[in-house]
Structure 1
Amino acid sequence: MDNHSLLSLIVYSVIACCVIMALVWLWSYKIKNAGVVDIFWSYNFPVIAIILLIFAPGFETRKYLICGMAILGGLRLGTHLATRVLKHLYEEEPRYAHIRKEWGANAEQKMFGFFQMQAISNVLLAIPFFISVMNPDPQISVLEHAAVVLWAISVVGEATADKQLSNFKKDPTNKGKVCDTGLWHYSRHPNYFFEWLMWVSYFVFALASPYGILAVISPAIILYLLLKVTGIPTTEQQSLRSKPEAYKKYQENTSVFIPWFKTK
């Protein structure tokens, strides 16, 4: 097994993710559905993890732990999104259709740039993985064990929230209603919360390695994106467009993000 420098690992990852996203853009152009980008944004993390698992020089057990977490987490989310998107493959999700409409005549060129930025974001967010797999220390620390437990909680929590929402939408009697059962009774976005918690677990894992504090950038970016950019704002805007009265009432009775904390 070859050992490679951190820079070469980053370069391999950037090339792999950018090529994948270029191919996904071609597919999205053909089917006129940019929603497929979400699937492969999730799947790109297992791709990076496999590159690190093969080429990184760190302690093998540590590599298997962090890369295994990244692979399983990315595959679970990506497959969940694929199941959702493939049901209406030739019908673009409203939030992407809205973006496409705003971009006008240059929408496809901008979409290509957007897809490439998603690829770059994959590598940037993978900082905890890069830091951890370079660590040669043969001792797995308490922090790393705690991070694995936190990661497991986040995966189960996110999967539970996704399943509850999926079951709610499958019931035809719920058409036009807002899911407010299970975890969704306590938070408008429990899936986003547990996704962010997963990135916190990667950060905690990286803290056991040299320069691990730098990994805080990943959960910080995810939190910013979820709260201010492509997560909660676009989701809530679409919900308010599709079911304004029901969603406004739902907003009044639930927390926006963290379950059980009424932070509007």
Structure 2
Amino acid sequence: MTVLYLEALVAIGLALSALMAGAWVVQQKTGNSGWVDTIWTFSLGLTGAAASLWSVDGAEANARQWLVAALVVAWSVRLGSHIAARSRHIGDDPRYAAFAKDWGADAPKKMFVFLQQQAYGSIPLVFAIFVAARAPAGDLRLQDWLGILILVIGIAGEGLADSQLKAFRQNPANKGQVCDAGLWGWSRHPNYFFEWFGWLAYPVIAIPFADPLSYPWGYAALLAPLFMYWILVHLTGIPPLEEQMLKSRGERYKAYQARTSKFFPLPPGNPVSRGPATS
């Protein structure tokens, strides 16, 4: 059994590496780094679905494997389509453009290394999907349905946040303003929050609540929400985006930071998790 999981780790890593090498080629040829996130999202969906349905000793995929594969494909199609639609209308993603500017003449080489780091850093996400699909119980359990509900809420919440932001930006009267409509009045990054929330589905499916020690590998699924929280809140999500917003919106964004929760949705003005004003 251990060999199977180690083989899965290697296969997942190689697949993600190859797919993100393809993302680098697209980025270099188009000059639009927005496609990087699109390809990353579809790559996770493809690799996650393949990992879920991976046949062992010729055995047919069971109901849980198909369920987990369907969940990751639904997530990938929704988010990937959204990012693709956005990428068609931009010249370059501001975050990656800032990296390229800092890297100077070494930008192509360093971008390749960066995307490979992103590929290998994504292994915990796909491995969480794999161990959830391999949960040993036969028929679907209540916690499998709870996992479905969690992912549906995550996808729906993120979709609502994206649509509210799009509607705000399309109103000419809001030019130069900071969106605080709807969910954006409760969190500065509600789309990121719901993205993170959806990844809780996999540990809920993977960890056997009725017999917590019967499937130790299931606890590896906790890596997905932990890793996603780290990259969204502390690495490539909130920090560069808020730095960009402070440059473009200045005092308006500082005021927004002061009254709005940084990540977890809270009533406006709640001081519990606003985060520092320059975060």
1:176 match: secondary structure: coil
Q: Distance in 1 between matches of 2:149 and 2:95?
A: 34
Higher helix share: 1
Residue number in structure 2 paired with 1:62: 64
Deviates more, 1:228-237 or 1:166-175: 166-175
**1:166-245 correspondence runs (5 A):** 166-208=166-208, 210-211=215-216, 212-245=218-251
TM-score (norm 2): 0.87
1:188 match: secondary structure: coil
Please tell me whether the aligned partners of residues 133 and 206 of structure 2 are also in contact (alpha carbons under 8 angstroms): no
Deviates more, 1:50-59 or 1:204-213: 50-59
Tell me which of 254, 259, 270 is aligned to 1:253.
259
Q: Which amino acid aligns with 1:77?
A: L
Pick closer, same or farther for the CA change 1:214–1:49 going to 2, 3 Å. Answer: closer
Q: Aligned-pair distance for 1:222?
A: 0.9
Residue number in structure 2 paired with 1:76: 78
Q: Distance in 2 between matches of 1:165 and 1:140?
A: 37
Please tell me whether the aligned partners of residues 56 and 133 of structure 1 are also in contact (alpha carbons under 8 angstroms): no
Please tell me whether the aligned partners of residues 5 and 56 of structure 1 are also in contact (alpha carbons under 8 angstroms): no
Structure number with greater CO (CA < 8 Å, separation at least 6) is 1
Deviates more, 1:229-238 or 1:92-101: 92-101
Q: Distance in 2 between matches of 1:170 and 1:202?
A: 36
User: Structure 1 runs of 4+ off > 6 angstroms?
Assistant: none
Please tell me whether the aligned partners of residues 49 and 129 of structure 1 are also in contact (alpha carbons under 8 angstroms): yes
Residue number in structure 1 paired with 2:164: 164
Residue number in structure 1 paired with 2:211: none
Please tell me whether the aligned partners of residues 233 and 239 of structure 2 are also in contact (alpha carbons under 8 angstroms): yes
Q: Distance in 2 between matches of 1:150 and 1:199?
A: 8
TM-score (norm 1): 0.91
Q: Which amino acid aligns with 1:194?
A: F
Residue number in structure 2 paired with 1:24: 23
**1:91-102 correspondence runs (5 A):** 91-102=91-102
Q: Aligned-pair distance for 1:136?
A: 4.0
Residue number in structure 2 paired with 1:5: 4
Instruction: Tell me how large the CA RMSD over aligned residues is.
Output: 1.9
2:122 match: secondary structure: helix
Residue number in structure 1 paired with 2:277: none
Tell me which of 61, 85, 88 is aligned to 1:86.
88
Please tell me whether the aligned partners of residues 144 and 204 of structure 1 are also in contact (alpha carbons under 8 angstroms): yes
For structure 2, the residue ranges without an aligned partner over 5 or more in a row are: 209-213, 275-279
Q: Distance in 1 between matches of 2:141 and 2:69?
A: 16
Identity level (%)? 36
Q: Aligned-pair distance for 1:53?
A: 4.3
Q: Aligned-pair distance for 1:98?
A: 1.2
Please tell me whether the aligned partners of residues 169 and 175 of structure 1 are also in contact (alpha carbons under 8 angstroms): yes
1:126 match: secondary structure: helix
For structure 1, the residue ranges without an aligned partner over 5 or more in a row are: none
Q: Which amino acid aligns with 1:116?
A: Q
Q: Distance in 2 between matches of 1:70 and 1:119?
A: 17
Q: Distance in 2 between matches of 1:127 and 1:250?
A: 37
Q: Which amino acid aligns with 2:28?
A: Y
Please tell me whether the aligned partners of residues 13 and 51 of structure 1 are also in contact (alpha carbons under 8 angstroms): no
Q: Distance in 1 between matches of 2:147 and 2:227?
A: 19
1:20 match: secondary structure: helix
Q: Distance in 2 between matches of 1:56 and 1:260?
A: 44
Question: Any idea what the Cα deviations from partners look like across 1:110-148, whole Å, max 9, x if unmatched?
Answer: 100111122223322112211122234212222222111
Residue number in structure 2 paired with 1:50: 49
2:222 match: secondary structure: helix
Please tell me whether the aligned partners of residues 9 and 51 of structure 1 are also in contact (alpha carbons under 8 angstroms): no
Q: Aligned-pair distance for 1:7?
A: 3.7
